[in-house]
Amino acid sequence: MAIKKGQSSEKAAGLKEMGTLRCDACGEEFVISQEPAVEDNRLAGRQAEWLEKVLREEHEREKKHPDRIELPD
């Protein structure tokens, strides 16, 4: 799960923060979080790469970033 920074911490309850990614186009930041039972740094790295691509595509389509983005496993 990627949650836009500044959103309620309730949205990330029970999740472990794995890192933060900043959108190159607008500067919004997203916290990449995982379930503690499946915590995986390599997976978080792949998720960050995927998220970076999604954020870039949203700007190309002039679409606003959602507050939460479900990340692939």
Q: What is the pLDDT of residue 13?
A: 78
Domain that holds residue 26: 2-69
Residue 39 and residue 31 in contact, taking contact as beta carbons nearer than 8 Å: no
Name the band, by pLDDT with cuts 50, 70 and 90, for residue 8: low
Q: What is the pLDDT of residue 38?
A: 87
User: How many domains, the chain?
Assistant: 1
Q: What is the number of helices (H) and of strands (E) in the chain?
A: 1, 4
Please write the tens of the pLDDT for every residue from 9-53.
666 778 999 999 999 999 999 999 999 998 999 999 999 999 999
Residue 51 Cα distances to 1, 60, angstroms: 10, 14
